[in-house]
Amino acid sequence: MSAQFTNQFSTFTHQFAAAASRANRLALESAETVFGVQLKAFEKNVDATTAYIDELAEVRDLEAYKTLWPKGLQVAKDNAERLIAAGQEVFGVTLKTGEAFGQLAKSQFESASETVQASVAKATKAAKAK
């Protein structure tokens, strides 16, 4: 009886460690993707803003400032759109990661349920045999 308990405990521990490892890998992959998306959006925004500021620094008269004003608004609009698009992509990645965690948990519950049912069936057969 003790050996059976030890074997089952060892099996459950191994399954738990494997599941924890997969969950950790999923979390790290998700974090890496999210960081990459946000960094790419930030880089594009900084490049666009820097280019606009460079143009703005070269202006010497009032008329040139008037022509650059709409361009500045367009840069701000484009930056905001990139941030929104990055946020939506991050949301999608987070949603997919959550679904993967759900599938992982579901498979663990199903595996544990099958193991328990097999143990119950085995114990029932042993009890009927006596």
Query: What are 63-109's pLDDT values in tens digits?
Result: 888 889 999 999 999 999 999 999 999 999 999 999 999 998 888 88
**Predicted confidence band of residue 119 (pLDDT cuts 50, 70, 90):** confident
Handedness of CA 101, 103, 106, 107 (dihedral sign): negative
- C-beta separation of 109 from 16 below 8 A: no
- C-beta separation of 104 from 19 below 8 A: yes
**pTM for the model:** 0.74
